[in-house]
Chains A and B, each alone.
Chain A
Amino acid sequence: MAGVIHKLNQKKNNSWLFHLFWILPALFLLVFYFYPILRVVQRSFIEEGRISVLNTANLKTGWRAIQFSFKQALLSTLATLLLGFPAAYLFGRFRFPGRKLLRLLSTLPFILPTVVVAAGFNALLGMNGWINNILMRLFDLSEAPIQMFGTLGAIILAHVFYNTSIFIRIAGTAWERLDRNIEDAARVLSASPWQSLRKVTLPLLMPSIISATLLVFLFDFTSFGVILLMGGAQFATIEVEIYIQTTQFLNLRLAGMLSLLQLVFSMSITALGRRIDKMSFTPVIPVVDEGNLRKPDNLWKRVFIPIMVFMLVAVMVVPVLALVLRALMVPPGENAADGLRLSLRNFQRIFINQRDALFFVPPFIALRNSILFASTATMLAVVLGGFIAITTRWSKKIGDVLDTLIMLPLGTSAVTLGLGYLLAFSGSRTLIKYYPLLIPIAHALIALPFVVRILQPAIQSIPEQQHYAAVMLGVAPRKLWWKVDVPMIKKPLITSAIYAFAISLGEFGATTFLSRPEIPTLPVAIFRYLGLPGMENYGKAMAMAVILLCACAAGFIFIENLQETQENQ
């Protein structure tokens, strides 16, 4: 990748070919983001005529949604930061048993559909959940002490559960690649640990911390499923309000206005983040991939690690485990009133089409579809994201513009984007044949900001001297790419691929509102089962969710292992 960069630096002005690096992502955004959004704007504000939406009731509803969006997003981001920052430190600096496993497990929440997460939390913290049952038995209480569903606390907890991994993966990876010798040098120059953190480490990490905070905030700010499922009817974010106005009332004007507002807020926040980022002085320093992780060397660190691991397991792993346990659970029979019975029955049942149902989804088919969508989305996002990161190194101006534009989809209402795709791409029967293609494309749109935020600093930090050395030794550019550049940025490359894969498998955003004739995925299969009453359907939905978890874990392990194959080649 940067082999090309090297050439770019040399032939800046005379090679039109390199313009492709920014033209391709720009075209992608134009066709799959701006055009559909334009169609929505056209439909909402021009074709709908002059229906006035600025009445008091609408203003009040809108204002309430805006206030609540900010309030819950601020609180959620703060809570995520409180757990995420020390977690990034843990993963960025320490070697401890189970490190790789914990990092893998902490990324799993990201892919789970909210409805499944809610089921996991319910098994754990619900009225008759395990924790309440234990507490009631221990303290002989007559009522469940924890009643969290339908509160702001539940919303914040779910957001922390979902988004802490963003800190671990973005800030943690940056920390891991930050040369430890710099801190040690500061310590040698008699700086206290606190001073070295504040004056040396933090400023160097600032860009990645800001990136992670921004992404978390945007996810929280535009939150939809978590608010609906964990919060109950009294809470509505802008996104929830857009959903209600669109699907329930077909009030496209109000929905369109709210979407624009949400976009403006999101972009202002992104711009603000960038200002802070620019103010902090960050020299480009060489990254060192090895040797930054150490075993704890003093008592404080020896205490910190287990406490932190415990916290992360409690918040991010236990709810997932609860879900797995729930999938394995069948109600106790007549004579085992209290016991927990485990069996694979739910898993066996999802393979049987009991009533020759036309829409029965065999697990393998759903799995295959999910994985195909996810691989396509991952490739799209990593390739386009890589192009953008290269562009930034070549031309800061164009890179900055692209970097701003790719943040737009994150701030855009998923309902609105889904509506846009409907208006833009399903206008004819020929087009509708290719409609399923939009699913990985929509996933790639959401994944792009992650990919770029992870790849950009890495590509920026590839030192040019290495290229000169390689070129001197007569290494061909393509070989340079595979042998020198890619290995140097392999960790960020893998992290970004993992995110793209996870975002796609979990079906974030607009795809919830895209229909997919005849190509059901795992989340779709889960929703089908949960749509029917009956213990068996619930069990089957949980079993499908566990399959989704396993698929995702397998995908992560596969991607993480690509680096080792690379090394062995």
Chain B
Amino acid sequence: MNKKNVLLMILSALVFLSCSPEANALVVMTHDSFAISEPVITAFEEQYNVDVNFLPSGDAGSTLNRAILSKDAPVADILYGVDNTFLSRALEEDLFISFTPAALSDLVNEVVPVDGNQMVPIDYGDVCINYDRAYFEDADLPLPQSLDNLLDSAYAGLLVVENPATSSPGLAFMLATIAEYGPNGYLAYWQDLKANEVVVVNDWETAYYTNFSGSAGQGGQPMVVSYGTSPAAEVIFAEEELDNSPTASLVGPNMCFRQVEYAGILQGTQQPDMAKHFIDYMLSPEFQSDIPMNMFVYPVNRHAEIPPVFLEHAQVPEQPAMVDTDLVAENRESWIAAWRELFTN
């Protein structure tokens, strides 16, 4: 290699690696799916004269693990993105400072605050089965109205779900079946679902983009475990302008699982006051109204605006499945292990 080239590469690499975040900034650890508009963050930075840096740390599970593993020397001030399937693990580890934001009184009915307010809810969404509308119309097939319905042989091989051991919507859907059939009955249900040729993949991307027939991958299954807001996203990110979404959600009782995402102030922060300001800001109508179009979940502040495309194209279940978070924390591993046992053979 040419010596000059080598030198140039080394120099440019050094320059580029040295432009890293400043030390006294407010650091928010998030999962990789966190997204928000830049002006919303800039507004906070200007108001409080502080830099806000985000530390994306993998999926929700990995992010929480990272916070737990670096508990003694925390690298962030705030953790955002723990959902109700992981909440108990986070609380058990005693990672957070209690803080009661004023806006907690403005919470929508869909979510409830956590006892002790170590973490506060920021957004929520439903994991639901999406279906390919064209497929059901063409085949003249009625829509499944309940989890029980899915066992009907008319739907054999038509549903793709994610592995609860590797995917967060997969886990949420398994919890929905536990809400419906109980910890002792869910495995029997899955046994029947397996007999009805349910397809299981490891991640949402494969399920939605490879197996599902209603989106870009044009796969073989017209039903997929995804999110209640995915049909709205299909309209927003359509190739051509659409009046109707090509997909919709099945919102029968206990068919959807409600995921709530929380944020908390990490113990050991050097700037607890600034962190409190930021959590307050996360709950403000300004920040909350920006959430739906960026993360495709719903705001928890009832004064926040929900975009019309959500109201028009996304279905909200009347009776979402709920499982007590303590029960989830206690049994998560064994529930998943039993499920895997069933699907490995």
Contacts and interface: CB of A to CB of B under 8 A. Distances in A.
A357 B38 CA distance: 6
Nearest to A439: B17
Interface in B194-214: 199-206, 208-211, 213
Given A126-B210, A229-B206, A244 B165 contact: yes
7 contacts: A122-B217, A126-B218, A126-B220, A246-B65, A358-B37, A518-B20, A534-B233
B17 A434 contact: yes
A532 to B, nearest CB: 6
Contact of A432 (B36, B61, B75, B239): B75
Interface in B201-256: 201-206, 208-211, 213, 215-220, 226-227, 230, 233-234, 236-240
Given A233-B343, A562-B1, 7 more contacts: A61-B337, A115-B205, A233-B340, A234-B344, A440-B13, A517-B53, A562-B2
A429 B23 contact: yes
B56 A515 contact: yes
B66 interface: yes
Contacts of A150: 199, 201
A110 to B, nearest CB: 21
B216 A434 contact: no
A113 to B, nearest CB: 11
A434 B55 CA distance: 13
Interface stretch (B4-12, B97-105, B319-327): B4-12
B146 interface: no
Contacts of B13: 372, 375-376, 440
A539 B9 contact: no
Contacts of A539: 216, 239
Interface stretch (A286-294, A398-406, A419-427, A465-473): A419-427
Contact of B200 (A232, A345, A536): A232
Interface in A222-271: 228-229, 231-234, 236, 243-244, 246-251
The 4 closest A-B pairs by CB, nearest first: A534-B237, A538-B216, A127-B220, A536-B237
Contacts of B59: 247
Contacts of B20: 433-434, 436, 517-518
Nearest to B204: A531
Given A122-B210, A426-B75, A248 B237 contact: no
Contacts of A355: 37, 293-294
A368 B19 CA distance: 14
A515 B200 contact: no
A422 B62 CA distance: 11
Interface in A315-354: 330-331, 333, 345
Interface string B36-60: 1111110000000000011111110
Given A229-B206, A250-B68, A426-B75, A333 B215 contact: no
Contacts of B12: 372
A233 B340 CA distance: 8
Contacts of A536: 237-239
Contacts of A532: 233, 237, 296
B315 interface: no
B163 interface: yes
The dominant DSSP class at the A interface is helix
Interface string B51-88: 00111111101100110111001010000000000000
Contact of A379 (B10, B200, B239): B10
B140 to A, nearest CB: 17
A376 B10 CA distance: 7
Nearest to A518: B21
Interface of B: 1-2, 6, 9-10, 12-13, 16-17, 20-21, 23, 27, 32-41, 53-59, 61-62, 65-66, 68-70, 73, 75, 89, 163, 165-166, 199-206, 208-211, 213, 215-220, 226-227, 230, 233-234, 236-240, 293-294, 296, 332-333, 336-337, 340, 343-344
Given A119-B209, A527-B32, A533-B227, A422 B66 contact: yes
A43 interface: yes
B294 to A, nearest CB: 6
A228 B9 contact: no
Nearest to A231: B202
A538 B220 contact: no
B201 A233 contact: yes
Given A228-B202, A234-B343, A244-B165, A357 B35 contact: yes
A359 B37 CA distance: 8
A357 B294 contact: yes
A422 B166 contact: no
A243 B75 CA distance: 23
A190 interface: no
Interface string A26-37: 000000000000
Contacts of B208: 533
Contacts of B294: 355, 357
B58 A513 contact: yes
A379 B166 contact: no
Given A119-B209, A531-B33, A229 B237 contact: no
Interface in A470-511: 497
B238 A534 contact: yes
Nearest to A241: B165
A331 B57 CA distance: 35
B56 A234 contact: no
A535 interface: yes
Given A359-B35, A531-B205, A247 B54 contact: no
A248 B38 contact: no
Name which of B59, B216, B227, B332 has the most chain A CB atoms within 10 A of its CB: B216
A518 B53 contact: yes
A320 B296 CA distance: 32
A57 interface: yes
**Residue of A115, A232, A562 ringed by the most chain B CB atoms within 10 A:** A232
Contacts of B39: 356
B63 to A, nearest CB: 9
A426 B33 CA distance: 21
Contacts of B227: 533
Contacts of A518: 20-21, 53-54
Contacts of B166: 228, 233, 243-244, 248
B235 to A, nearest CB: 8
The CB with the most chain B CB atoms within 10 A, among A43, A118, A372, A532, is that of A532
Contacts of B234: 533-535
A150 B35 CA distance: 32
A14 interface: no
A543 interface: no
A158 to B, nearest CB: 13
A122 B216 CA distance: 11
Nearest to B9: A375
